[in-house]
A and B are shown apart, each in its own frame.
Chain A
Amino acid sequence: MNNDFFIEIDYRLFHELGSVISSDVCLNKRGEDRSVMVLSDGAGRGIQTNVIASMIASMALNYTLTADNLLRATRRIIETFAVNDKFTNTNHPSFTIVSIDNDNKVKIAEFGNPDLIIIRDGKELKINKKRYSLNHNKRRLNVVISEYNALCEDRILAFTDGITKSGYATYRLPTGWGRSGVIKLVTNTLKQTPYISGVELAQTVVNNAEMNDLFVVRNDMCCSSIYLRKPRKVLVCTGPPFKEQDDKVMANIVNDYDGNVIVSGGTTSQIISRELGREQTIIMKRDSSGLPPISKIDGLSMVTEGVLTLNKVKHLLESIKNTNIKGTGIDANFARMLLEHDVVDFLVGNKINASHQDPRLPVELELRRNVVKDLARILEFKFMKQINITFI
């Protein structure tokens, strides 16, 4: 995991009108040593192109995560898929691989897709690129490999030709939007909203491409966006410490935390309130979620009940398909706050409340550690958050 900054990787995709499946596939994964994003275009339409694009993306992702030679990975992929005459320089599946090492070195391999864009300080950053011509079955296929050192606030955007060709043959854009059009939009957007999230920037690009096509998308269009930024951190403190003498330690961790803090648990909030000498006020208001009421302690972002609330947040995060959470209940607010941050630190007290283990009580009163473990797994693997769990 990169220690200097958080790497947000996300993408947005529009299908060609009338198509139920896309020929563009974007995959990303964080490994021990690096984070990798692959954008693959199966070239064409239909199930076959989606399968090809998915296989390329999957191969490239796993190869890059385990091995460190992008040129070799690219060569293997091309050799695997360049089996028929259709695979020429003008009509073939294309892909872009971006690998960001933990020491901030970015390695890029491009084959066929429009050149990706790197934005630094509101302008396009030009980097040295090495062009390789691979011979395969008497055909020459061009691969571009490049490297550079990333800085915080850098943005990397990769996209398929559906974006650059959008608007083609229209009155306004007779030759299509082009890469320069994308750069212009991105730099203008960043001038107005410099801290826009990666996913919102990708959405802005595909929305504009759709508009260029006069809202009748003529080619699958996908834009992936990488944003390297200072991590936004949130601490979830839940459960009383196993030893009473650690109450002070827990309260100090909460007090010194450099981010937002959620305290989840009645006894936990009492400990924090007592140790920090800050009054706790329970807000006696019935909530749409049916959960026990929240309370207020100065300096804390949110104070909720413990296991029931965590369980409900877990189920909510499990069920949603994207990060756009609707609703105003305690569970929705809690989940929204978790998703707004890049790093979620859990501080879990290990003391078990014996009365919660009464078999007559609802099953929702699970062991706190299990609920936190499940919640952390969902946040890490479904929402790509960086998770740290400390037991006390």
Chain B
Amino acid sequence: MERKLVVKICTGTLCYVTGGAELQSIDEHIPEHILDQIDIIGSTCADHEETEDRPQPPIVKVGDVIIPEATIEKVVTAIKAALGEA
């Protein structure tokens, strides 16, 4: 079975108020033909909050790549790049 690309969207408070709320609708912006190749999940962002050089919120992780100050456009581009569609 083919492994899906995991897109992890932070739903923590800080990420949510700094633009993460928009990212909830990311599935509506991803081309249909690649939608079944990805797995969109939520996460809490405690992993990043306590570090000095933490990435700026909102944070999305596409595969192993962390996207700071994530926007829908940035995330869609990163997904396409990860799937070799760019």
Contacts and interface: CB of A to CB of B under 8 A. Distances in A.
Give the dominant DSSP class at A's interface: loop
Interface string B41-69: 11111100100000000000000000000
Contact of A355 (B21, B40, B49): B49
A310 to B, nearest CB: 11
Given A282-B43, A284-B40, A306 B24 contact: no
Given A284-B24, A290-B21, A306 B42 contact: no
A284 B9 contact: yes
Given A282-B11, A284-B24, A269 B17 contact: no
Nearest to B23: A284
Contact of A292 (B16, B40, B46, B49): B16
Contact of B45 (A266, A286, A362): A266
Q: Which of B9, B24, B43, B46: most chain A Cβ within 10 A? A: B46
Given A286-B24, A293-B24, A307 B13 contact: yes
A102 interface: no
Contacts of B42: 282-284, 293, 295
A305 interface: yes
Contacts of A270: 44, 46
B11 A293 contact: yes
Contacts of A280: 44
B14 interface: yes
Nearest to A267: B46
A361 B56 CA distance: 13
A352 B62 CA distance: 29
A371 B14 CA distance: 17
Interface residues of B, number: 20
Given A266-B46, A286-B24, A292-B11, A308 B41 contact: no
A286 B25 contact: yes
Contact of B16 (A283, A305, A355): A305
Contacts of B18: 361
Interface string B1-23: 00000000101111011101100
State which size class the interface on A falls in.
20 to 34
A282 B41 contact: yes
Nearest to B16: A292
Given A266-B46, A305-B11, A353-B49, A284 B16 contact: no
B9 A356 contact: no
Interface in A252-285: 266-267, 269-270, 280, 282-284
Given A292-B11, A305-B12, A305-B13, A266 B44 contact: yes
A269 to B, nearest CB: 7
Nearest to B27: A284
A267 B15 CA distance: 13
A365 interface: yes
Contacts of B16: 292, 305, 308
> Which 5 A-B pairs have CB atoms at the shortest separation, nearest pair first?
A282-B42, A266-B44, A266-B12, A267-B46, A292-B16
21 contacts: A266-B12, A266-B46, A267-B46, A270-B46, A282-B11, A282-B42, A282-B44, A284-B9, A286-B24, A290-B21, A292-B11, A292-B12, A292-B16, A293-B11, A295-B44, A305-B11, A305-B16, A306-B13, A353-B13, A353-B14, A355-B14
Interface of B: 9, 11-14, 16-18, 20-21, 24-25, 40-46, 49
Interface of A: 266-267, 269-270, 280, 282-284, 286, 290, 292-293, 295, 305-308, 353, 355-356, 361-362, 364-365
Given A286-B24, A355-B49, 8 more contacts: A267-B46, A282-B43, A284-B42, A292-B21, A295-B44, A353-B13, A355-B14, A365-B17
